[in-house]
Amino acid sequence: MKNIFSIVATLCLVFLGTIAFSQSNADVYLTAQFKVSGITCSGDMPVIKKKLINQEGIDEAAFTEAKNGVVTFTVKYHSSVISEKQVREIIESAPSCDRPDEYPYKAKSIVPQPKKQ
């Protein structure tokens, strides 16, 4: 009888520990925006986008038209897999479309401003 009780108690503790672990590492689906400078031609944005969407944890990447060498990227990602800092580093590690040995991009996170009422 003691053995059965010990086994049941152990299983309960393992099960509760698993639930607690999964709740503490809950996946949050986030959207981040980055101003990316160093854009020199229209081929740069697709290069960056391809590098982003091929990364595990990133579901979507979209960009605006370039204005004065700056583009805004919007990236949707899973926080349990990848961080905002890692997304920025991926952008900055993308090669130039016309000079693949150069990495000219600088990304800066855009913090959304609260809307005035």
Q: pLDDT tens digit string along 29-39?
A: 999 999 999 99
Could you give the maximum distance between any two Cα atoms of the chain, in Å? 77
Paired residues of 15 in beta bridges: none
- DSSP state, 55? S
Please tell me the distance from the alpha carbon of residue 31 to that of residue 77, in angstroms, as a whole number: 6
**Domain ranges (residues) in the chain:** 29-110
Higher pLDDT, 25 or 101: 101
Averaged over 57-84, what is the pLDDT? 95
Of the ranges 12-16, 59-63, 67-71, 73-77, which one carries the lowest mean pLDDT score?
12-16
Question: What is the number of other CB atoms lying within 10 angstroms of the CB of residue 28?
Answer: 8
Q: What is the distance between the terminal CA atoms of the chain, rounded to a whole angstrom?
A: 66
Please tell me the distance from the alpha carbon of residue 77 to that of residue 55, in angstroms, as a whole number: 10
Tell me the CATH number for domain 29-110.
3.30.70.100
| Numbers of helices and strands, H then E, in the chain | 3, 4
Averaged over 87-113, what is the pLDDT? 92
